[in-house]
Amino acid sequence: DATMDDISDLDAVTMPPQPRRPAPHQADITPASAPLDWAQDTNTVVLFLVIPKGTRARELDVKLLPTSIRVSWRRAQGMDGMLLGGDLCERIKVTESEWELVNGELVIRLTKDKRREWLTPLLTSMSETSRFAASTLSPAAVCTPLSSPPTSVYEKCAAGAHAHLEGADCDAAVRKTSQVRKESPTGSDAKATTLSATYDAWDHFDDVQALMQLENNGKTDDPNWSLRCGQGTAAVQCTDYRKDREEVELDEELAQKRLELQESFNERLRGAARLKEEGNGLLRREQPEAALEAYEDGCAMLNVLHESGAVLLSGRMLESLRTLTLHLHNNAAQAALSARLWAQASAHASQALEHDEANAKALYRRALAKSKLGEDAAARRDSESLLKVEPGNRAAHMLLRQLDPVSEVCTN
């Protein structure tokens, strides 16, 4: 959907998705061993960088800035570890951009700041990347507290390393940078030397070591032990132990994955809610078949959460998932009844009753669908169950009279 910025931007374009293809002049952008492909649509540019098999996310250092990008090996020295870098063709929205490893490739999704067609993903060559990195990234920036509260162990370390980690590599990096500034000559040569030294200092900053110091601060070499007991089970738990480098890296990787999963779950819930509203609109416009399709698409989006994601959801999100699924199946049953698709109506009403066995709408809709299918006994059972929930439900009484007039008269 177009935003107010897009409406006021007379140069904004809407373009069909462009397929994946090699990036132009990639020999000047990436090493020969790391070919770069790219694709784009109206709002997004996607970069595909081939990397060695078995590479883990924590081994890569990916830095995305509004006008620049840099990918390197985390433990490499200077430019030797560079995989990709340079100035971008246009500005991007950093907070809406992301990257992941997929089947031996680094996939970087860049959200365009403005709706423009990019002619090439990167403008500058690898030799210019050191200038980009040095001018935008420095240890001093890492040691400055963030304007908003840190949300992860890494951000806590990055925001407060200088204040909390006495003797950490961050201090050394700042001291090294200050020393270079004092000893270097003046003028343009001095500026270039300072920027180069600043970039080198950042490259030597060991973030994992800083994380270890933060994690192990105040802990002794002797951990505490606790015993947990349950019905027929017992477990010994080790607490307050000093973590090694691998454990710290794994904790940070798991925290990042958890955030990504939470965002994925939230997006599925939002998408299913949008489909529910779309189906409601179609049903009001007397388009039951199209409405049923929208509701079923919404149900399909939530199936993954029910099947494999439920154990990772909070109680609040579980309740939202249950309620939305109930409404989608209930509405799908009504749409199927309107379209005279009795079997689908019965199936969706049954799905709704799995989430709320006393739901009046689902009981009535399944009873009506069963009666249309000639399954009078099942329709009668659902009608009687509905009357236990709502004794005065006129629709249920009417359906029972149609199914068994004598029984209904006796009941009254």
Q: What is the DSSP string of 287-321?
A: -HHHHHHHHHHHHHHHHHIIIIIGGGS-HHHHHHH
Distance CA 218, CA 213 (A): 9
Ranges for all domains in the chain classified under CATH 1.25.40.10: 244-356
Q: Residue 153 pLDDT > 50, yes or no? A: no
Residue-level pLDDT at 27: 43
Q: Residue 409 pLDDT > 50, yes or no? A: no
Distance CA 168, CA 212 (A): 10
Q: pLDDT class for 352, splitting at 50, 70, 90? A: very high
| Residue owning tokens 């971008």 | 88
3-state secondary structure 212-252: HHHHCCCCCCCCEEEEEEECCEEEEEEECCCCCHHHHHHHH
Q: Is 78 helix (H, G, I), strand (E, B) or coil?
A: helix
Ranges for all domains in the chain classified under CATH 2.60.40.790: 4-128
| pLDDT mean over 18-29 | 73
pLDDT in tens, 227-275: 667 666 667 666 666 667 777 677 777 777 777 777 777 788 889 999 9
Is residue 397 packed enough to be buried (19+ CB in 10 Å), middle (13-18) or exposed (0-12)?
A: middle
Classify domain 244-356 at the CATH class level. Answer: mainly alpha
pTM of the full predicted structure? Answer: 0.43
Q: In the sheet where 105-111 sits, what is the strand order?
A: 18-22, 36-40, 44-50, 105-111, 98-102
Strand pairing class (224-230; 68-73)? unpaired
pLDDT in tens, 310-319: 666 677 778 8
Distance CA 255, CA 248 (A): 11
Tokens of 23: 């990036």
Q: Residue 412 pLDDT > 60, yes or no? A: no
Among 347, 353, 354, 319, which residue's Cα sits nearest to residue 332? 347
Tokens of 319: 């309740």
Looking at CATH, the fold of the domain delimited by 4-128 is given as Immunoglobulin-like (2.60.40)
- Residues linked to residue 108 through DSSP beta bridges, in sequence order: 47, 99
pLDDT, greater one: 22 or 28: 22
Strand pairing class (105-111; 98-102)? antiparallel
Tokens of 81: 């570890």
Residue-level pLDDT at 157: 39
